[in-house]
Structure 1
Amino acid sequence: MKIGILQAGHSPDELRDSVGDYGEMFTRLLDGHGFDFQIFSVVDGEFPSGTEDADGWLITGSKHGAYEDHDWIPPLETLIRDIRDAGQPLVGVCFGHQIIAQALGGKVEKFDGGWSVGRTEYDFGDQTMALNAWHQDQVVDLPEGAEIIASTDFCANAAMMIGDKILTIQPHPEFTAPLVAGLIEHRGRGNVPDTLLNAAEDALSTATDNAKFADKMAAILKG
């Protein structure tokens, strides 16, 4: 089964040699599930010719906001709607979560409550999962038909299902402790309050549920 990864941003230059780019992080996360991957760097204007180029799709995170004025965002929103209309599976993470919500009629804003960074526990109803967060933007209005499947007191709309083919999540199951440490150093200091960064540093050695959530992603992508 071929999964098209729609890469909406790049990892920091300082970290790319050690951790890879965002698309590569997902190929590692989903390794062992029997997928073949093709990465389309949509942030650089590289798009598939159509939905037939893959059997399922995944949209990565990005430093950009879904509401920002970039040439590649409108065609990405069109592609999201085409994927939905084709009945193909689709997973979105962080920016991917937000742009799917926006493309399908929801709303994304820069959250006035500030940032969420580092290991965070999410309530999935029947279980709690710990995943690494790195965001200020949030989905504030849901698209039609969306069901919230995970939340925190800080992020009410942390994960959602739209029908049985679209899964989106605000935190990053692909983010490892070394990557979060690098983000703190290269994208955090001076942008995110030190109290949040220090707490995220303190939690770097505590396990997350990346593999467990990867299984959920793979199940959706396999239909």
Structure 2
Amino acid sequence: MKIGILQTGHSPDMLKGEFGDYDTLFPALLDGNGFDFETFAVVDGIFPSGAEDADGWLITGSRHGAYEGLPWIPQLEDLIRAIRDSGRPMVGICFGHQIIAQALGGKVEKFSGGWAVGRTEYDYDGKKVWLNAWHQDQVTELPEKARVMGQNDFCHNAMLAYDDTIWTVQAHPEFSNDFVAGLMRTRGKGVVPDTLLQDAANRQTAPDDNAEIARIMADFFKKARA
């Protein structure tokens, strides 16, 4: 099965040597499932010819906001709707979660409650999972047909599903604790309040549920659909 990665951002230059760019984190996360991957760096204006260029699609995180007036965002929204209409499975992570919601009629805003950073607990389909978060923007109004699958008190729309073909998550199952520590060093200072950074650093030694969410993502891509 070929998964097209729609890359909407880049890792900080100081982290690429150790961890790779955003698109390389997902083949590692989903390793062992028999997927082939092709990256389309939409953030740099590189787009597929259409939804048929892959069997499934994954939209990465980004430092950009879905509401920013960037020239590639309307084109990405058109592609999201085309993928939706094609019936191919699509997964969105953080910015991907947000841009899918926006493209399908929802609203994304800079959240007045501030940032979520580091190891964070979510209620997913009735069970507790721990994932690394790195965001201030949130989906604040749901699109039609979106179902809330996961949330916490800070982020009510943290995991969404649309019919049987779209699944999205606000957190970052592709981010290891070490990667988040790198983000705190390279992008956090002066942007995220110091108290939040310190609290996040204090939580970073505990385990996460990245592997469980990776299994959910892989099963979602591979499941039989009518």
Q: TM-score range by the shorter chain?
A: over 0.9
Counting only pairs closer than 5 Å after superposition, residues 105-116 of structure 1 correspond to structure 2 as 105-116=105-116
Inter-partner Cα distance in structure 2 for 1:13 and 1:28: 19
Letter in 1 for 2:47: F
Runs of 4+ in 1 over 2 A off after TM superposition: none
Equivalent residue number for residue 67 of structure 2: 67
CA distance in 2, matches of 1:48, 1:17: 27
Q: Does 1:183 align with 2:183?
A: yes
1:126 deviation in Å?
Answer: 2.2
CA RMSD of aligned residues (A): 0.6
Question: How far apart, in 1, do the equivalents of 2:190 and 2:99 lie?
Answer: 26
Q: Identify the residue that residue 216 of structure 2 maps to in structure 1.
A: 216
Q: Secondary structure of the equivalent of 2:33?
A: coil
Equivalences for residues 1-223 of structure 1 within 5 A: 1-223=1-223
Deviations 1:105-141, CA, capped at 9 Å, x for gaps: 0000000000000000001142110000000000000
Residue 27 of structure 2 aligns to a residue whose secondary structure is helix
Deviation at 1:97, TM superposition (A): 0.2
Instruction: Provide the rounded CA distance (Å) in 1 between the counterparts of 2:221 and 2:77.
Output: 19
Letter in 1 for 2:128: T
Alignment partners' CA distance in 2, 1:121 and 1:30: 22
- Distance (whole Å) between structure 1 residues aligned to residue 176 and residue 187 of structure 2: 16
Identity %: 63
Once the two structures are TM-superposed, the CA of residue 178 in structure 1 deviates from its matched residue by: 1.1
CA distance in 2, matches of 1:164, 1:117: 30
Count of aligned pairs = 223
Distance 1:72 1:31 in 2: 29
What CA distance in whole angstroms lies between the structure 2 residues aligned with 1:174 and 1:88?
22
Q: Structure 2 counterpart of 1:217, which letter? A: M
1:184, 1:146 → 2: CA distance?
32
Alpha-carbon distance between aligned partners in 1 of 2:77 and 2:31, rounded to the nearest angstrom? 27
What are structure 1's unaligned runs of at least 5 residues? none
Q: Which amino acid aligns with 1:210?
A: N
Describe the SS at the equivalent of 2:129. strand
Secondary structure at the aligned position of 1:14 is classed as helix
3-state DSSP class of the match of 1:132?
Answer: strand
1:60, CA displacement in angstroms? 0.2
Q: Deviations over 1:85-118 (max 9, x none)?
A: 0000000000000000000000000000000000
Give the aligned residue type for 2:57.
W
Partner of 1:150, secondary structure, is: strand
Using the size of structure 1 for normalisation, the TM-score is: 0.99
Structure 1 counterpart SS, 2:13: coil
For 2:13, the aligned partner's letter is D
TM-score (norm 2): 0.98
